[in-house]
Amino acid sequence: MDGIGGHEMKVLMATPFYDPIIGGTERFVADMSVKLNQLEIETDVLTFNIDENMKLVPKYDVLNHNGFNIFKIPALFVPKLMNAIDSNFIPRKLPMGTIKKYDLIHFHNDTDLSLPFFTYLIRKPKIFHFHCLNVTYQFFKRRFSSRNLLKSSVSVYIVASKYSADLLLNLGFPEGKIRILPNGLDVEKFSPNEKPKAENLLVFIGRIAPQKGLLTLLRSLKILKPRTKLLIIGPLAKHYIWYFNRVMETIKNINDCTHHEVRYLGVLDSNEVIQCYRNATIFVCPSIDEPFGIVNIEALACETPVVASNSGGIPEVIQHGINGWLVPPNSPQRLADALQYLLENECLRQKMGSLGRKYVVDNFSSDVIARKLCKIYGEIIQ
């Protein structure tokens, strides 16, 4: 991509959390940073210095990983001190001189606005990327100050789906500044293997939180006739210990009283997760509300068909009857019916997996998404 003003474009990805705290947002930042640098857009990352135990590290670090810099800044954690703008961190050392060297700042993660707030006076083109608007929507609806911070300081807003774009419009954000950019995926890493799929293996991957609909999936097993094994992978959401306890009780009841086997595996590393996608007969995403659902394209990239809720942005990815099956959220019976239908139709599953892989490669590969992001950057800078 051509530079501006005779020099290469420089972009700073600013996110409150980063490696070793890895979730969907952090994976997106890492993948796009690699791809953008390959496209000759100099891209670095600014984040708070937090260790794997979610403890703040009181020093300023500059790391180099995969060819780009990661600026880790020390901060104080003061919950609700600045609740009016949803800011829980106060930077101890913010490298203003370094930040001003970039042509554009791309903010990520709508659960914390510390970095947009403390860089408010830096007059650079800015993008704010909403990754979980289905969760933060009610917060922004209540907080004029948070909406005003973003409306007065940001050039463009990015969301992953039309569903999320409509939520932004409902909040009063200008339509002309909203861009839809799906999450990208490394399709070389997320790929099928030559081994046949396991028999009657269901896989769920996600946080153990109510909006992910896991209890609906577990209740569907009490109806489902074919004997299955269900693997549950994902972290406990710290605000929902009560829900986690209900899930564990339900798992015990299913293992004791039905012919199904359910195992909770907790958090796995990325290679283990990919292997689960590859082995699965069906990937299940029973979310009650989901802005996009990166797990669905990860499964499809591994040629695994998806049964998912017809909610949020999921129907923008899962094509009913083509690469997966859509069911109403919160319906154990409809979910059980869909699972049974696909478990009994191997040829259909194989066709769905093959079409799903092609669909992801053509529309959601990191290369495709990085080029789309480049166009957004170029539009803002020009």
* pLDDT (0 to 100) of residue 6: 45
Nearest to 29 by CA among 60, 122, 16: 16
> Looking at the 3D structure of the chain, how many domains does it have?
2
Six-digit token string for 201: 């293996």
* pLDDT (0 to 100) of residue 375: 95
* pLDDT (0 to 100) of residue 52: 78
Same domain, 163 and 300: no
Q: Range of 289's domain?
A: 201-363
Same domain, 295 and 233: yes
- 312-347 pLDDT, tens digit per residue, is 889 999 999 999 999 999 999 999 999 999 999 999
Same domain, 119 and 211: no
Average pLDDT (5-34) is 84
Residue 260 has pLDDT above 60, yes or no: yes
Helix (H) or strand (E) segment spanning residue 145: helix 144-153
Give the confidence band of 48 by pLDDT, cuts at 50, 70, 90.
Answer: very high
Residue 189 maps to a domain: no
| Proportion of the chain above pLDDT 90, given as a percent | 77
Average pLDDT (194-222) is 95
Same domain, 157 and 225: no
- 63-95 pLDDT, tens digit per residue, is 998 889 999 999 988 776 555 556 788 899 899
Same domain, 258 and 351: yes
Residue 3 maps to a domain: no
C-alpha dist (Å) from residue 298 to 123, 279, 313, 366: 37, 13, 15, 12
Give the confidence band of 207 by pLDDT, cuts at 50, 70, 90.
Answer: confident
Give the confidence band of 4 by pLDDT, cuts at 50, 70, 90.
Answer: very low
Residue 276 phi, psi dihedral angles, 5° rounding: -65, -45
**Whole-number Å distance between alpha carbons of 77 and 109:** 17
Same domain, 213 and 252: yes
Same domain, 344 and 376: no
Q: What is the CATH number of the domain that holds 331?
A: 3.40.50.2000
Same domain, 175 and 211: no
Residue 5 maps to a domain: no
* pLDDT (0 to 100) of residue 77: 84
Amino acid (one-letter) located at 162: K
Six-digit token string for 274: 């990919």
**Whole-number Å distance between alpha carbons of 252 and 260:** 11
C-alpha dist (Å) from residue 232 to 67, 204, 244, 277: 35, 5, 12, 12
Average pLDDT (158-177) is 96
3-state secondary structure of 265: strand
Residue 166 maps to a domain: yes
Average pLDDT (137-148) is 91
Residue 336 maps to a domain: yes
